[in-house]
Amino acid sequence: MPHWVQRVLDWFDPPAAQAGTAAAPQPAPPPPAAAPQAPVPPRSRRIAAPAAEPLDTLLSPAVFRHPQASREVLLGGARVAYQLQRARRRSIGFTVGPEGLSVRAPGWVTLAAVDAALQEKAGWILRKLGEADERRRRQASAHIRWADGAQLPYLGEPLTVVLDPAQQRSGRGGALAHGEGGRRELHIGLPSGAAPAQIRDAVQAWLMREARRRFTERLDHFAPLLGVRWNSLRLSSAQTRWGSARSDGAIRLNWRLLHYRQAIIDYVVVHELSHLRVMDHSPRFWDTVARVVPDYAELRNQLRDEPAPQWE
């Protein structure tokens, strides 16, 4: 493989794992003698305007399509429509995210070279696309139904929402309690007839207050261990990013992290604080993370593989 091809694995851009290479796709069986032979579709072509019928009914049984796709390629029997961007960089970069495959390539690299790089890494690309598709299915099944008795994960354990007008009179907005069988409950100050949007907004407001309190505690705990100082914390609602850090000590963390157990939250906190020492994802950065969270790789994989529930 040319030395200028690289790949990106997840939201945090960790060092890439060794990729596999798929075998070349087998040719389709010939049509019956009586029928005229259909032309073999090209392996890579620029995408035209949408056809009258969906792409997956006309081409391959396996179809992965990026919403901003500008090209498509046949990889190991699957049709992959990907986003191609030209960038001022030295190498071809592959990113498989929630939307699909994105490719960033220098302007001097030919389309044929881009397609050749995709073919060489077909195994890795298809594996990552399959994992992303499975993650979307699991996320869809984790949809929260906003009503009295709704369940959502909190610190890695189930939490049941209980509509409790008494909480409204107390002015606290919500409170944790233990119900039957020791189940954890969140009592929200709303009447039994509250609309789903009201329930969702009240739960989110409580979670965001909890997120600021817990994140502040963990930032204060880990910053001295890393020898850094953080200056501000902002909460994020991003769909595909768990945190960020700026060199001036500004930290941004996604409040949805409260769905995960404390160890995973701590990993993200340490990840962002480590950027105050090393602002890239070089080996020196990961060595910094590992000094405080030795099992960061396992926690990172769990964060990637366990989707947070959808909020609608």
Q: What one-character-per-residue DSSP string does 14-77 give?
A: PPPPPPP-PPPPPPPPPPPTTSPPPPPPPSEEE--SPPSS-HHHHS-SSEEE-TT--EEEEETT
- Where in the chain is CATH 3.30.2010.10? 151-305
What's the burial of 100, exposed, middle or buried (CB within 10 Å: 0-12/13-18/19+)? buried
Beta strands in the chain (DSSP E): 5-8, 44-46, 63-65, 71-75, 78-86, 92-97, 100-105, 151-154, 157-163, 174-178, 184-188, 232-236, 243-245, 250-254
Tens digit of pLDDT per residue, the chain (312 long)?
554 444 433 343 443 333 333 333 434 444 444 444 444 444 444 444 334 334 334 443 578 889 999 999 999 889 999 999 998 888 899 888 888 999 999 999 999 999 999 999 999 999 888 888 877 776 665 678 899 999 999 999 999 999 988 776 655 567 878 777 678 899 998 988 899 999 999 999 999 999 999 999 999 999 999 999 999 999 998 877 899 999 999 999 999 999 999 999 999 999 999 999 999 999 999 999 999 999 999 999 989 888 788 776
DSSP annotation of 183: -
CATH number attached to the domain at 151-305:
3.30.2010.10
Can you give the pTM of this predicted structure?
0.61
